[in-house]
Amino acid sequence: MKNRIKIVTILIIFISFAIVSFCVFFDEAILVRKKAIFRVNRIEKVVVLTFDDGPSPVWTTRILDELKKVNVKATFFMLGEHVAEYPEIAQRVVQEGHEIGNHTYDHRVLLYYTLEQLENEIKDTERIIKESTGRTTRYFRPPKAWLTAQEKKKIEELGYKVILWSLNSKDWVTFDDKYIVKYILKNIRPGDIVLFHDSGGVFSAEGGDRDETVKTIPLLVDALTKKGYRFATLTELLDNN
């Protein structure tokens, strides 16, 4: 009996470690890129910075401060419930020339939703963004990237483009800023869409520690600029394709 308990315990630990390792070191978006935009082939050295899960009264404001210092525009994929709670932060994003995308209302994995629930998630967030900022968006990014082919079709029918990413900073793991910059510099290509977060933690869609994200921005912008890259909004990247 004791041996059986030990075996089960070891198995649980191994499975838990495997799941954590998968989440930390593997980018799940690679598996669901079909019929979604994750990068654009460009000759010009241009890259798009995107931030998910905000707005946050703590982290979005600090990220906006850093982006302003380096004169870079980005695209923020926002949660409806966060826009409703912090409309003034969403307004600042727009006022400073950045773009907004739809990231659902509450960041639940969409695989568990019916198509009707999916439509409500998108439309409720669309309405809140419009009421808070006066802007509409036709860019949608699914939480955790997971979508079925049927869900992608439904999203397109609602007039949205599904936007994923080609480079994942994994900043939610709170990797060191220098490590994040080194990873991106090693893998960057013209037309890449880079994923960061301006809110959220390992187990929640709000809060978290984005200090390394904030510190990454000036280092990354400086390093990529020296390599001849410039930064664009998502619309600019797609329109000039």
Distance separating alpha carbons of residues 21 and 86, to the nearest angstrom: 34
In DSSP terms, 168 is beta-bridged to 195
Under a CB-based contact definition with an 8 Å cutoff, are residues 99 and 234 in contact?
A: yes
Active-site choice (52, 171, 192, 198): 52
Which residue from 174, 171, 183, 107 is spatially nearest to 145, judged by alpha carbons? 107
Is 171 labeled as catalytic in the residue annotation? no
Is 197 labeled as catalytic in the residue annotation? yes
Under a CB-based contact definition with an 8 Å cutoff, are residues 191 and 39 in contact?
A: yes
Pair of tokens at residue 68: 């302003």
Active-site choice (98, 103, 107, 197): 197
Distance separating alpha carbons of residues 72 and 98, to the nearest angstrom: 9
Beta strands (DSSP E) in the chain are: 46-52, 75-78, 99-102, 139-140, 161-162, 167-168, 193-197, 230-231
Distance separating alpha carbons of residues 110 and 102, to the nearest angstrom: 13
Q: Indicate the burial class of 56 (C-beta count within 10 angstroms; 0-12, 13-18, 19 or more).
A: buried
Backbone angles phi, psi at 166, to 5 degrees: -105, -25
Residues labelled as active-site residues: 52, 197
